[in-house]
Structure 1
């Protein structure tokens, strides 16, 4: 019987290389070993196929865990909102001290920079010429009084003779006119006396108001000219003014809020080296027109300054009440997010789904951000973990609380447009 090679033998023989006469014959495995090797190759190929085909099933992607967030209802507090201004202090009165008569300056009664009271003697001009002029005016007044006394006596005698027709009426009229002229001369002489008295008084230059004087501009011994020579300047500093400029938007806001009625607005001022608003006063003047060049309205506040600590020229930051106390909702500033051109707050519904609420932020109050519109008192606001929340996504809300503001003063100036400052309302 002729042997028929099987499939494995055929493959083995086809794959065998040809030999030259000089080559050594290849080592040939026994047939049984060749069959075993082929079987092993088939099993290995089959196992690999099973593995690649899913012999070990691939694991499906697990869904991400639901993030934990902390939620709380917004804090409700009564706050007082303020508008921010900048300005400078200026004297409530600025007076140039000048003499009202000419003469030689003979004495200075105050030191440079003194605080003086109204009516206090400051300078003295040589009084001797004015004393002499006053004496001369008084003498002329005495002579005029003598002349008018004589004219009155003559007129009285003539009036008695007129009834006896011992004198003509023309003479009586002339005597009466002379008496009237003498009376006018007396009045003129008395006026001259008062004028000389005033000149004598003007030789003593007194403070026209209470305030602080500057240094003297003229030394003793110099001649001064009436209404011309500047002796010093005086600034009234109690009270002191604070001048500021407000934008047209703030002016319109105040007008619409107050209905155009004049109201007394309280102000608080902070100096450059102060952290709190320690100076308080009220607005007493608003200009009658908006400056077309700058688009601002000029205003002025009055501040008590009994110890003269404040001086003209000091720079200050002022906040002005923009209305009475209002109820506001407060949330942590980090809870307010920016979504393109709007501000949003993430809230969690009863089903755990996050929703974005567009809000109108207000000023900072003791580290918390006030919300003017867009939020409800019963909303559950995400105060922690807001970075893990997405609108429409599900979260695991955990209850938390918003701590009340620890201070009444407002924090640093707000960075949100139209959000000025606010403080907790004092009951």
Structure 2
């Protein structure tokens, strides 16, 4: 009996717990959800490409070099007596830089002068004797042999005088060469020899190097043009779209390592006659005014050379350029405010704007801000603004800045 009551009680408990379930489930049921409201179009800033006249260019690296560079060496041997300049300063052509002890050469010059005077006297005496012999021979009182001897003696003394006068001129030059002067105007280097040392005359193999001297204005810049650019330029020359640097004065600009852009203006004045087979490059040289001495020989330089004639081109900001599987693209908003992806071919950079050689029209609306928030086919709310320049601040009211494309 007790077992029956126990089983019966447990059954009633289970039934009591199970009965509320349908009611609870029914209470949890909700009405079908309504369709979500359409998302608002994404706000973006768009700009139309800038159309302007540009000139294509190529960038190279080079080194500055002095137009004139001289190694100062003495023309006579002697002991260094004076140094008449401050190292590293500017000197003018003709300034006396070094003085070598001149006493030995002055003594030799004095001796030669005396020898010249002696030979002049000898020549005058031989001339008198020749005239006397000639007069006696006409009267028959002199033999032909004596006359010939007098004539030969007169010729010999005349020749000796000429040799002595040449030696006198050489001695005078040697005395002048004891003062080593600047052959050009420019900036002088450090002194490689101090007073009291023996200076040897001669060329590079035997002469003593005293210092160096380089000109400062104008300044050369040497740079090498790669083979691909060289062939491209020659093709343009053949088509009449460019001029040869050998036939016309072509401008070139230069920038140093600590400078923005290429502020120095110059011209190409030399093109080598052959390509270097080791490097596949052609050596060119530009010449630049340097009155303010901003350029120094040996500096690294960035050289920009215009290529071809000026032409019209479309330009956009770098921030509008994206990459899709290695292809450069831009996002264009059509008449329905839908985003389309447009492959483009890039050109050179001009003042923070990138040339688009193919893929855009002047009337296209290019997304310049908000690229990360859109995709092809998306509907956007475009706002037309002026084309921003890379590096400048974003336009006012931008929904978000984007990183310029690499």
TM over 0.5: yes
Residue 319 (str. 1) matches residue 304 (str. 2): yes
Residue 255 (str. 1) matches residue 255 (str. 2): no
Residue 120 (str. 1) matches residue 105 (str. 2): no
CA contact (8 A) 2:78 2:198 kept: yes
The counterpart of 1:287, out of the listed 272, 278, 300, is 272
* In structure 2, C-alpha distance between the alignment counterparts of 1:22 and 1:144, rounded to whole Å: 168
CA shift digits 1:68-113 (9 cap, x unpaired): 5444321112334432222333333332222111112222211222
The counterpart of 2:72, out of the listed 97, 100, 104, is 97
* In structure 2, C-alpha distance between the alignment counterparts of 1:163 and 1:108, rounded to whole Å: 67
Query: Structure 1 residue 166: deviation in Å?
Result: 6.8
Query: What RMSD in Å do the two structures reach over aligned CA positions?
Result: 3.9
Residue 400 (str. 1) matches residue 400 (str. 2): no
CA contact (8 A) 2:41 2:381 kept: no
CA shift digits 1:257-305 (9 cap, x unpaired): 3445524333333333333433332232333333333333333322323
Instruction: Name the counterpart of 2:4.
Output: 23
Gap change, CA 1:286 and 1:128, over 3 Å in 2: same
The counterpart of 2:341, out of the listed 356, 378, 381, is 356
The alignment covers a number of residue pairs equal to 374
Question: TM-score when scaled to structure 2?
Answer: 0.76
Query: Structure 1 residue 198: deviation in Å?
Result: 0.9
CA contact (8 A) 1:366 1:407 kept: no
The counterpart of 2:122, out of the listed 147, 172, 184, is 147
CA shift digits 1:302-351 (9 cap, x unpaired): 23233444333333333233344432212122222212232122334445
* In structure 1, C-alpha distance between the alignment counterparts of 2:171 and 2:117, rounded to whole Å: 15
Per mean C-alpha deviation after superposition, the further-off stretch among 311-320 and 196-205 is 311-320
CA contact (8 A) 1:68 1:395 kept: no
**Structure showing greater Rg:** 1
CA contact (8 A) 1:332 1:402 kept: no
* In structure 2, C-alpha distance between the alignment counterparts of 1:137 and 1:22, rounded to whole Å: 159
Instruction: Name the counterpart of 1:245.
Output: 224
Instruction: Name the counterpart of 2:52.
Output: 77
Gap change, CA 1:336 and 1:89, over 3 Å in 2: same
Provide the secondary structure at the position in 1 that maps to 2:331: strand
Gap change, CA 1:343 and 1:404, over 3 Å in 2: closer
* In structure 1, C-alpha distance between the alignment counterparts of 2:43 and 2:157, rounded to whole Å: 109
* In structure 1, C-alpha distance between the alignment counterparts of 2:103 and 2:150, rounded to whole Å: 40
Residue 195 (str. 1) matches residue 195 (str. 2): no
Gap change, CA 1:353 and 1:158, over 3 Å in 2: farther
Provide the secondary structure at the position in 2 that maps to 1:291: coil
CA shift digits 1:212-266 (9 cap, x unpaired): 2222222222222212222222222222222333322233333333445524333
Gap change, CA 1:183 and 1:76, over 3 Å in 2: same
* In structure 1, C-alpha distance between the alignment counterparts of 2:226 and 2:150, rounded to whole Å: 76
Gap change, CA 1:179 and 1:81, over 3 Å in 2: same
Question: TM-score when scaled to structure 1?
Answer: 0.73
Instruction: Name the counterpart of 2:251.
Output: 266
Per mean C-alpha deviation after superposition, the further-off stretch among 270-279 and 230-239 is 270-279
* In structure 2, C-alpha distance between the alignment counterparts of 1:21 and 1:402, rounded to whole Å: 95
CA contact (8 A) 2:47 2:365 kept: yes
Gaps of 5+ in 2: 10-18, 239-243, 393-403
- 1:128-147 alignment, distance < 5 Å: 128-147=103-122
CA contact (8 A) 1:333 1:368 kept: yes
Query: Structure 1 residue 61: deviation in Å?
Result: 7.4
Provide the secondary structure at the position in 1 that maps to 2:329: strand
Gaps of 5+ in 1: 1-19, 28-39, 409-413, 417-427
Gap change, CA 1:119 and 1:285, over 3 Å in 2: same
* In structure 1, C-alpha distance between the alignment counterparts of 2:219 and 2:115, rounded to whole Å: 49
Query: Structure 1 residue 207: deviation in Å?
Result: 0.9
* In structure 1, C-alpha distance between the alignment counterparts of 2:281 and 2:47, rounded to whole Å: 42
Instruction: Name the counterpart of 2:397.
Output: none
* In structure 1, C-alpha distance between the alignment counterparts of 2:245 and 2:254, rounded to whole Å: 24
CA contact (8 A) 2:322 2:330 kept: yes
CA contact (8 A) 1:71 1:397 kept: no
